[in-house]
Amino acid sequence: MQDQMILYNGPNSPFGRKTKITALVQEINLEEKIINVYESDFLDKHNPLRKIPTLLVGQESITDSDNICLYLDSISKKNTLFPKKNYWQIMNVTSIANGLMEAVLERRMETIRPENEKSKNFISKQEVRIKRTIEWLENNWNNYDENNLTMDQITIGCALDYTIFRYNDEWKKIIKI
């Protein structure tokens, strides 16, 4: 019998969404608990960084979305999302798409700070990083195969969806993937 799995997630986390999609695609049953990470002291004993997502498997915790996805993939009987063919290309693009999610999240966190604490320079740098990454993905990513889903595809989808979610229609004009 498999240990109970609980995925601690946030309502809008693109990293949590990536892990949830991985569980669905790989047909892994887990319980998702949506939490406010800033008010979740209980999470500290499982993840001292108090970041989401965090997966609890029995009494063990797995942190970081990539580690969680690798774990879920490893226990699945479905085709792997991390095939050996093009493995490093898939991991590199996954990392770049993770960076896009981080840049969008960092920009978001800066924009909700009190007006006198915001850094317009920091926001601008994140916007440049976001645009440059989207353009890079459009020009360099060529691993789409509708018959063979891989982790880079899932991560790019979550990253672009999160970008549109946070920055409305103006970013839809930029994204061409």
* Pairing of β 54-57 and β 60-63: antiparallel
What confidence score (pLDDT) does residue 42 get? Answer: 95
Does residue 1 register a pLDDT over 60? no
Alpha helix (H) residue ranges in 76-119: 87-111
Contact 51, 105 (CB under 8 A): no
Token pair listed for 23:
């569980």
Contact 130, 100 (CB under 8 A): yes
Q: How far apart are the C-alpha atoms of 58 and 85, rounded to whole Å?
A: 33
11-37 per-position pLDDT tens digit: 999 999 999 999 999 999 999 999 999
- Amino acid in the structure at residue 26: Q
pLDDT band at 176 (very low <50, low <70, confident <90, very high): low
Q: How far apart are the C-alpha atoms of 30 and 53, rounded to whole Å?
A: 13
40-65 per-position pLDDT tens digit: 999 999 999 999 999 999 999 999 99
77-136 per-position pLDDT tens digit: 999 999 998 899 999 999 999 999 999 999 999 999 999 999 999 999 999 999 999 999
Contact 33, 43 (CB under 8 A): no
Which domains occur in the chain, in start order? 5-75 (3.40.30.10), 87-172 (1.20.1050.10)
Q: 124-131, long-range: CB within 8 Å, 24+ apart, which pairs?
A: 129/99, 129/103, 130/100, 130/103, 130/104, 130/163, 130/171, 131/174
DSSP category for residue 64: S
Backbone φ/ψ region at 23: left (φ over 0), alpha (ψ -120 to 50), beta: alpha
What confidence score (pLDDT) does residue 137 get? Answer: 93
Q: How far apart are the C-alpha atoms of 135 and 140, rounded to whole Å?
A: 8
Q: How far apart are the C-alpha atoms of 118 and 70, rounded to whole Å?
A: 36
